[in-house]
Chains A and B, each alone.
Chain A
Amino acid sequence: MNVRKSCLVAAAVAGLLPFAASGSSHREAPNIAGNPREDSTDFYLFNSYEAGRDGYVTLLANYIPLQQPYGGPNYFAMNSSALYEIHIDNDGDAKENLTFQFRFNNRLANDNRGLKLNIAGPNVAVPLKNIGGVSAADNSNLNFRESYQVWVTRGDRRFGNASPLTGSNGGSVFGKPYDFVGTKTFGSVANYKAYAGSFIYTVNIPGCTMPGRVFVGQRKEGFAVNLGPVFDLVNFIPVEGDSAPGAGDGKGFPGGITQKRANNQVDDANVTTIAMEVHKSCLVGTGNGVIGGWTSASLRQARLLNPLPTFSRPDVDGGPWVQVSRLGMPLVNELVIGLPDKDRFSASEPRFDGQFGTYVTNPTLPALLDALFRTPVNQTLGTAFTNIAPNNIPRNDLATAFLTGFAGVNQMSKVTPSEMTRLNTGIPAVPAASQSNFGVAGGDLAGFPNGRRPGDDTVDIALRVVMGALCYPLSIGGNSVDLKLCKPENAPLGQVPFTDGAPVSAADFDQTFPYLTTPLPGAGG
């Protein structure tokens, strides 16, 4: 297979894979649902498409899901007792070669004593996190301040050598903007955008010749999903109901859903983003230019609650790090891993993913969709399907999508089945205006599943792949490409345009780092 055809095949496969991989993971496992500060929700990994940033790779790890912007007075600080990490495997052994480690520190103003007001004599600490306007130039009214440090560790994430990243002034402590509590505090949405933008730092990364950039702060939720109805036994007909997405003519599948922003039920939420931009020369190592990435969060194994808590010491944490959250490809833990093993998956590392293989090769989601929709499908179409789920068990098509990547596109030179987001750093980025939200399936090789960009509609792609889209020849660049992972007769609905009706595209995002947009204000705006 020549390079072009190889890329086409890979692209076709990747384009239809997103459902399995592209969903996000908000509150997806029983234990992590109780620890939102360490709950990773989405992980993006893509070649930077900001103008003038050729050769750079952007890594975005979102935490603290479903933030209602008005969630005062404490809003959504990161956990100063947690370890947040972004891992990179660049040689295909499913073990990290490079890890960026983030630790946060929360302080009150006035040397941790807090801002105080003189009330008829005594100075009394105020109960709020800010007591006046806040801007990049003046944060004197800000009572609660977050900062963080970043280390790069090469080799094992726990035993490798860690070195701190430094800013242009040589310091290693970086500030995190206060959450967007509202327009009275910050003046306007534009003012908050400028304020948050002042927390984008150019950094020197030890061992790398090119500088990078970092930002940590609140952003508007970038994931789009019809969340409530999806988990209410898919309380809609998940097929394109119009002749074309958004046409609104009802000439698609009878009763099918219409694409509209109102279907995105997380459109009113914010999230907290850990963002990095690193030159690919720092990431690719000795591999073939394909890297695998994932994020994780860990806590110390033991926590003692202080019966006499103070701001700085409500408890004491100690012992070794225990991973409690993990995210590479989206929706994996949400819709693939069985409930008894979700927390184990959260605590696991990609190199041990063999223990979860059956969930991929023998998936339950298609069977659930069969139970929910076989009868309506037969009634609507006049068909007599006895099972609408693909019958090619084991599902090699899903294993390729989830665990190995596609040869010629996003497969590393050494293949170790494991779940992570794989990006070919050699495929040039595509400008926002030219991106397809169906990624490779849409003829855009720079998109999902070759990495994942904010505008890739991974939910729709994933739905289609799970229902067998890869069993049919794909049209890539005018060529019909048969991936030979399964056959059309294996998937009766493999060509049906499944969708959750919640559209997303690159137009919904900024075109500059960190791409995810200014958060929604808690008030005003």
Chain B
Amino acid sequence: MNSRKISNIRLAALAATTLVVAACGGGGGDGGGYMPPPPPTNSAPAVSAINDRASDQDAMLAIDFGVDDRESGAGSLTVTAMADGTSVFPADGVQLSGSGATRTLTLTPLEATTGTAMITIRAADPEGAVAVRSFVVAVNAKNNSLRAMALETFAKAENDTPTTLNGWTIQQDADDPATFAGLIPAEDP
């Protein structure tokens, strides 16, 4: 043990003794010189990182994320989510579920709608400290081949349940009549 280490140990012991005496009201006199220590600092909650996302039109997107709070715990957090407009995700198309440290955000775009929206998740603890996490969701057109659709539909028996086409976007085919000419059966003689 060298002299520097001995010195540090002594200083630490002295400080500990002083704190103990002060806490017990000892030390003589009327105590008017004592200042209580500041309360513990409330740290902000935490929301895990969420990358920007992309999804197809007319499809729901579920995003799992985590929350935490050092002082009060994840279960005490008030978590909300909202989009920066309603043109892509209506108010009821942004839904939170889950509890505790693991939460799920479910996004449902308007039918047959494409575009981008910024989603903001906000977590607040009972003391009012807030954490915010924002990310962008792009809803992309889902292109369906008209030819594939036709063939799929034609392949069904006439009494089968029809294919639902809500929200379908049909990609443009080449401007070539021959594209479908081959699908036309030969005429009756």
Main secondary structure of the interface of A (DSSP, over half): strand
* A319 in contact with B158 given A301-B153, A304-B150 (CB within 8 Å): yes
A260 at the interface (CB under 8 A from B): no
A contact residues vs B (CB 8 Å cutoff):
158-159, 300-302, 304-308, 310, 312-313, 316, 318-322
Cβ contact within 8 Å between A319 and B153: yes
Main secondary structure of the interface of B (DSSP, over half): loop
Q: Which residue of B lies closest to A303 (CB)?
A: B150
- Candidates A307, A310, A321; contact of B181 at CB < 8 Å: A307
Q: Which residue of B lies closest to A160 (CB)?
A: B159
* A310 in contact with B187 given A304-B180, A322-B162 (CB within 8 Å): yes
Cβ contact within 8 Å between A301 and B184: no
B30 at the interface (CB under 8 A from A): no
Cβ contact within 8 Å between A319 and B156: yes
Shortest CB-to-CB span from A12 to chain B, Å, is 43
Cβ contact within 8 Å between B185 and A316: yes
* A301 in contact with B163 given A307-B177, A313-B184 (CB within 8 Å): yes
Contacts of A300 in B (CB 8 A): 158
Q: Which residue of B lies closest to A158 (CB)?
A: B159
Contacts of B188 in A (CB 8 A): 312
Sample of 9 more A-B contacts, CB < 8 Å, known A304-B184, A312-B188, A319-B162: A158-B159, A300-B158, A305-B180, A307-B181, A316-B184, A319-B155, A320-B162, A321-B158, A321-B162
Contacts of B153 in A (CB 8 A): 301-302, 318-320
Contacts of A318 in B (CB 8 A): 150, 153-154
How many angstroms from the CA of A318 to the CA of B180 in the assembled complex?
A: 14
Contacts of B183 in A (CB 8 A): 304, 316
Shortest CB-to-CB span from B63 to chain A, Å, is 31
Q: Which residue of B lies closest to A317 (CB)?
A: B154
Residues 121-177 of B contacting A (Cβ, < 8 Å):
149-150, 153-163, 177
What total of A-B pairs shows CB separation below 8 Å?
56
Cβ contact within 8 Å between A308 and B162: no
Shortest CB-to-CB span from B135 to chain A, Å, is 33
* A307 in contact with B180 given A316-B185, A318-B153 (CB within 8 Å): yes
How many angstroms from the CA of A305 to the CA of B163 in the assembled complex?
A: 20
Shortest CB-to-CB span from A302 to chain B, Å, is 4
Cβ contact within 8 Å between B159 and A321: yes
B contact residues vs A (CB 8 Å cutoff):
149-150, 153-163, 177-178, 180-181, 183-185, 187-188
Contacts of A320 in B (CB 8 A): 153, 156-163
A-B contact pairs, 17 of them (CB 8 A): A159-B159, A302-B150, A302-B153, A304-B150, A305-B180, A307-B178, A308-B177, A308-B184, A312-B188, A313-B187, A318-B153, A319-B155, A320-B153, A320-B161, A320-B162, A320-B163, A321-B158
How many angstroms from the CA of A158 to the CA of B156 in the assembled complex?
A: 13
Shortest CB-to-CB span from B110 to chain A, Å, is 14
Contacts of B160 in A (CB 8 A): 320
Q: Which residue of B lies closest to A157 (CB)?
A: B159
Shortest CB-to-CB span from A426 to chain B, Å, is 34
Contacts of B150 in A (CB 8 A): 302, 304, 318
Contacts of B161 in A (CB 8 A): 320
Cβ contact within 8 Å between A301 and B162: yes
The 9 A-B pairs with the shortest beta carbon distances in the complex, nearest first, are A307-B177, A319-B153, A318-B154, A158-B159, A302-B153, A320-B160, A320-B162, A322-B162, A301-B162
How many angstroms from the CA of A318 to the CA of B149 in the assembled complex?
A: 12
Cβ contact within 8 Å between A302 and B154: yes
* Residue in B149, B158, B188 with the greatest tally of chain A CB atoms within 10 Å: B158
Contacts of B158 in A (CB 8 A): 300, 319-321
How many angstroms from the CA of A185 to the CA of B156 in the assembled complex?
A: 45
Contacts of A301 in B (CB 8 A): 153, 156, 162-163
Q: Which residue of B lies closest to A316 (CB)?
A: B184
Contacts of A319 in B (CB 8 A): 153-156, 158, 162-163
How many angstroms from the CA of A318 to the CA of B156 in the assembled complex?
A: 8
How many angstroms from the CA of A159 to the CA of B157 in the assembled complex?
A: 11
How many angstroms from the CA of A320 to the CA of B164 in the assembled complex?
A: 11
How many angstroms from the CA of A316 to the CA of B182 in the assembled complex?
A: 12
How many angstroms from the CA of A310 to the CA of B177 in the assembled complex?
A: 15
Shortest CB-to-CB span from A103 to chain B, Å, is 11
Shortest CB-to-CB span from A333 to chain B, Å, is 20
How many angstroms from the CA of A138 to the CA of B131 in the assembled complex?
A: 89
Shortest CB-to-CB span from A177 to chain B, Å, is 26
Shortest CB-to-CB span from B54 to chain A, Å, is 29
